[in-house]
Chains A and B, each alone.
Chain A
Amino acid sequence: MNYNWDWSVFFKSTGIGSEIYLDWFIAGLGWTIALSLSAWVIALLLGTVLGVMRTLPGRFAARAATVYVELFRNVPLLVQLFIWYFIVPDWLPEKIELWFKQDLHPATSAFISVTVCLGLFTAARVCEQVRTGIQALPRGQSMAAYALGLRLPQVYRKVLLPQAFRIIIPPLTSEFLNVFKNSSVASLIGLMELLAQTKQTAEFTANLFEAFTLATVIYFVLNMGLMLVMRTVEKRVRVPGLIALGGK
């Protein structure tokens, strides 16, 4: 292949003010991070609630959570995004619909749609991991907690969840990274996150290879960094003998 790489393209002016193309990538990275972290907060909170529901003695809660998981796990993420962005706003009361479509900045309404979509989608996956973590604990743990007089919410908060989360840190980490990677679907509804900025740079400059190489490097470094952070978290919350006991 005969291609003249030109890395200086990122420092060239975009023609808009004093902006250079690198600024687009930085802005895009900002959106990607904001989007992913917001979606992760939703996923972690909702996924934990759903995961707990799936382990509760009552049948209704467990079934409801199962239906949720199957629904959100078996429909492609992109289809879900289009539903949240194009269809759901039409179902809202008229005032909210107009506010969402007209008053909000287009970037804001796209941001809300993607955050909700990605958060709810990932929650289904977090739910399954939380459930697995809880079910991996010996049954005697909850028995001992109840035997001391703790009530159900206390049993989960103080005894089951702290152990379950420690067990599932590795799969949760990969889910966390997936959120960052999946956030690139936002580019399809016009949110100028990292991938959208990459495509735009490629179109403006015709330096397609450089633009996508930079995007690849940024995603890679970002995810590697997150993985290292999660490893540190895992080490810091490690408790002597916990995993061994979990397998008993």
Chain B
Amino acid sequence: MSSLTEQASKHPRLHQLPQTHQLKALMTIIRDAETKRGDFVFYSDRVIRLLVEEGLNYLPVVDKEVTTPMGVPFQGVAFEGRICGVSIMRAGESMEQGLRDVCTSVRIGKVLIQRDERTAQPKLYYSKLPRDISDRWVLLLDPMLATGGSAMKCIEVLLEAGVREDRILFINLICSPEGALTMLEKFSKMQIVTAEIDEGIDARKFILPGLGDFGDRYFGTED
């Protein structure tokens, strides 16, 4: 483990899924260059479900007393706070169904951010967000956090729309330590939920060892 990876894994606002054998097995399948698309989609969806469940755990709950079928009072908790999803197009859309599976009829906004070839900076091309997003918790969806350029641009868009930064949870499958640390430093209240923290990024901004281009492999648009 590189020192940067270790540093990232200890960051209090970067939450990794429990590193079980089972998760390793799922990640092995989706990282394997030989994996067929059907398996890639199936096992990615499984990891996404785990990530969404984990992400929701950082939402608040309030105490609630209920009565059990045996007529006994039970001191429990209830969900508190409304949520929405925001996916960064195109790859982030692959995570929407995982969110819908656990939060039926959840509102989902979309943002298209691409690299401006003249400035080499990420540029916002399109955004459509729920009107009352400023009252909501936001699960930001993008499967790969490499440099963090698009995601940081997206967070700026969310903040401009009135979202509280401490209510932003960025959910991804794999992140690079430098991307995650840069992002957490720039935004001091948001949180990241990820399955694994990798070694770094290459010159083409791909995460290493990573899994290649997630959107192409998920949507079947490889060359």
Bound pair: A and B? no
B interface with A by C-beta (< 8 Å): none
